[in-house]
Amino acid sequence: MEEKMINPLSENIYKKRIYDRKEDIRGHYFRDQTAIIHSMPFRRLKNKTQVFFSPKNDHICTRIEHVLHVSTIAATICKGLDLDIDLAQAIALGHDLGHAPFGHAGEDKLNKLAIDNKGFFIHEVYSLRVVDKLAREGDGLNLTYAVRDGIISHCGEEFTQFIEPLRCYKELDKIEDRKTLPTTYEGCVVAMADKISYLGRDIEDAIKAKIITDDDIPKNVRDNLGRKNGEIIDSFVTDMIEWSLKNGKIGFSKEKFELMLELKDFNYKKIYKHDILKNYISHVERILDIIYEHLLKICQEFKGDLQKYNTGIPVDKRFGCYLKKMDKLYGKKEEFKPKQIVLDYVAGMTDQYALQCAQEIIFPQPISFDSGEL
């Protein structure tokens, strides 16, 4: 009989919150799930791109659907491994709260803008800023250490056959890259479930978008994983549970991992680097440039004088309202830094809201005339 996987740190560390609170019947990690689900950043995920920008097509995966897929896949794996399902689902539900509008194209553009200003924008790291500082109008969600650690450590772009928890405490707010590993088995499960979730689903969406056909999928993948997303998920999940139970680590058999790499290479070559997506990326960069430069200009000029924002176009007024709501963070808990504030505001936008803001900036409002006779 396999030994139960035991996380390396103490329960006191995992359940520690930024601010002490009296726990209730929900327990530590289910409480975190509810805090995430009821937050504004989570609700916005329904209108943020996963890979394909298609806001009027209900059949194309959005960021919120991806997050829910990761949550259910992680829960299934945890059931098979006798791990904490509530913890895994809390991490999964919060892991992409820091994603920018327009998917990874938006993230890459915001990172370029941040680097120009001697900073960086990485959605794993930024997700921690969202849950710790930006949510609830600057109060944060006050999540447990275990969930916060899983969120910042979930990197879905690194592919290794297996991972196991880091065995030392980390100062999460000092992390500035994607290289950190989770300190829990549940966090490791979410990191792997993230990959399982998007590889098959992106193929289905690419077929709907006529970027590829079903027959383009490598024969080896079709024969050994399946053609449909559900079949691919089932193949990986079953393999992960069986391999992890035998090896005491979270990972795949050598055979399934090689298939995963083949599937990943296919997706990158035939989907993510397709001319349609390249053209989409160029539009995204222009849109975010326009918004960022406009808001940075007025923020540097007006600073905390909220009345001045009301004299501008609609997006200026809404930005002024945002500053008012976030007053407890900007200028009080943190120094008033226009570049960081504008980055926060733009990163929180949905795709549709970003398009609306860009339109308001580009196209002038019509001048209102007296309708009376001359």
In the predicted structure, residue 371 carries a pLDDT above the cut 80: no
- Residue 2's pLDDT is what? 67
Strands in 220-342 per DSSP E: 250-251
Is 2 inside any structural domain? Answer: no
Asked whether residue 373 is domain-assigned, the answer is: no
Please give the residue range of the domain that contains residue 241. 11-274
Residue 54: pLDDT band by 50, 70, 90 thresholds?
A: low
Claim to verify: residue 180 and residue 73 sit in the same structural domain: yes
Q: Which of 296, 286, 275 has the alpha carbon at shortest distance from 344?
A: 296
Same domain, 269 and 288: no
- Residue 51: inside a domain, yes or no? yes
Same domain flag for 15 and 149: yes
Q: Are 214 and 322 contained in the same domain?
A: no
pLDDT value, residue 202:
84
Looking at residue 148, its pLDDT comes to 98
Distant-in-sequence, close-in-space partners of 4: CB < 8 Å, separation ≥ 6 = 82
Whether residue 93 is found in the same domain as residue 241: yes
Same structural domain, 282 and 260 = no
- 265 and 283 belong to one structural domain: no
Does residue 280 share a domain with residue 269?
no
Q: Quick one: 33 and 78 in the same domain?
A: yes
Residue 199 maps to a domain: yes
Are residue 245 and residue 292 in the same domain, yes or no?
Answer: no
Q: What is the mean pLDDT of the chain?
A: 92
**Cα dist. 373→330, 366, 369, 370 in Å?**
49, 19, 11, 8
Same domain, 269 and 285: no
Boundary (domain end) residue, out of 243, 274, 305: 274
* Cα gap 81→302, rounded to integer Å: 55
Residue 257 lies in a domain: yes
User: Residues, the chain, total?
Assistant: 374
Residue 198's pLDDT is 86
- Asked whether 232 and 199 are in contact (CB, 8 A), the reply is yes
| Measured CA distances, 178 to 152, 155, 175 (Å) | 8, 6, 8
Alpha carbons 65 and 157: distance in angstroms, whole number: 18
Tell me how many degrees the CA angle 37-52-187 measures, rounded to the nearest 5.
Answer: 40
Q: Are residues 207 and 350 in the same domain?
A: no
Confidence of residue 157 (pLDDT cuts 50, 70, 90): low
Give the total number of structural domains in the chain: 2
